Amino acid sequence: MQLKNILNHQVHKPSKQSHFNPRMKKMKWLTFPYIIWMIGFIILPLIMIVYYGLTTKTGGFTFENILLINDPINRKALILALQLSLISTIICLLLAYPLAMILSNAKMSSNNFIVLIIILPMWMNFLLRTIAWQNILERTGILNRILDFLHLPTLNIINTPAAIILGMVYNFLPFMVLPIYNVLIKIDKDVINAARDLGANSTLTFLKIILPLSIPGVISGITMVFVPSLTTFVISTILGGSKIVLIGNVIEQQFRLGNWHTGSGLSLVLMIFILFSMAVISKYDKESEGNLW
């Protein structure tokens, strides 16, 4: 049931009084399009992936596709993907938390503006923005030309893990800022005042009150950055060149080669990793609620 918990963090907790009254029952047919959508585009594809992942080309049952993760190349790609997405998640968290704090304390008019600025890049195509970074970081790109002009040593970031991390942080930072900001603004100012009133200085108030109360937002932020980072193949293709292969690239290649069984098997492995890491996070969440002192 831990997965359900995580989902509840993302979508704000459903209200307890959402029981259906008789009139609502009549409106039930309104849900049919959604049910059809979910069956056709979520459940069916999932079943297909599980089916392809667990069968051979002749249709027989096998674990071989899944065990292909043990292949040195695949394993290396998975470990690298885990490392890079973990690092970029941590960087996002470290950048986003103070920003969300500043935003939640700012005056109403100015904070709407800053939130807009954070969301604004998301209105432009994700692919375009990543290609823009490629142009900036290239050996003869904008950044190096500026450094060269200033007679500073040029940087060689493109096609390195650092470039991929930069791309991940740049693209996914808003997904970390917004959930944290959302929980922070919902903390009653008087709860913070109460902590101060009872003798806590601002550091203690942050550690004992604000931080624990913001954990749900941190967790949804982590999930929303870590999961797309782990599965991405676009960022690694554009900013990592062909040298750096993440698990997302491996899976993409398998499907391109028409190797649906292997691709699905590796996807299943990735899904298991995601479920596992989310379970660990949400377990930590529950423990932290209990033992604050």
Partner 1 sequence: MTQNKLINLCNITKSYGDTLVLDDLNLYIRENEFLTLLGPSGCGKTTTLRIIGGFENPDRGNVIFEGKDITKLPPNERQLNTVFQKYALFNHMTIAENIAFGLKIKKKSKAYIQDKIKYALKLVNLDGYENRMPNSLSGGQQQRIAIARAIVNEPKVLLLDEPLGALDLKLRQDMQYELIRLKNELGITFIYVTHDQEEALTMSDTIVVMNQGYIQQIGTPEDIYNEPQNAFVADFIGESNIIAATMVEDRLVNILGTNFPCVDTGFGRNKPVDVVIRPEDIDLVEPEEDIITGVVTSLIFKGVHYEMEVLANGHEWLVHSTDLSPVGSKVGIKVDPFDIQIMNKPESEDEQATEIVE
Residues found near partner 1 in the complex (CB under 8 A): 188, 190-191, 193-201, 204, 208-209, 212-213, 289, 292-293
Closest approach of partner 1 to the CB of residue 279, in Å: 21
Shorter beta-carbon distance to partner 1: residue 129 or 208 = 208
Shorter beta-carbon distance to partner 1: residue 40 or 212 = 212
Structure tokens at 92: 């996002």
- Asked if 264 contacts 46 with a C-beta cutoff of 8 angstroms, the reply is no
Work out whether the CA dihedral 37, 277, 171, 73 comes out positive or negative: negative
Q: Where are the alpha helices (DSSP H) in the chain?
A: 2-10, 22-26, 32-38, 44-53, 64-67, 72-105, 108-119, 126-137, 142-149, 161-186, 189-197, 202-205, 211-231, 234-240, 247-256, 260-290
Closest approach of partner 1 to the CB of residue 149, in Å: 48
Shorter beta-carbon distance to partner 1: residue 188 or 242 = 188
Shorter beta-carbon distance to partner 1: residue 75 or 286 = 286
**CA distances, 54 to each of 10, 41, 74, 193, 291 (Å):** 31, 20, 18, 57, 42
Spatial separation of the C-alpha atoms in residues 226 and 223, rounded to whole Å:
5
- Asked if 174 contacts 96 with a C-beta cutoff of 8 angstroms, the reply is no
Closest approach of partner 1 to the CB of residue 104, in Å: 17
Shorter beta-carbon distance to partner 1: residue 203 or 242 = 203
Closest approach of partner 1 to the CB of residue 188, in Å: 6
Shorter beta-carbon distance to partner 1: residue 187 or 274 = 187
Closest approach of partner 1 to the CB of residue 157, in Å: 42
Strand partners, 61: 55
Closest approach of partner 1 to the CB of residue 220, in Å: 17
Closest approach of partner 1 to the CB of residue 199, in Å: 4
Shorter beta-carbon distance to partner 1: residue 16 or 151 = 16
**CA distances, 112 to each of 92, 94, 98, 118, 175 (Å):** 21, 22, 17, 10, 16
- Asked if 248 contacts 232 with a C-beta cutoff of 8 angstroms, the reply is yes
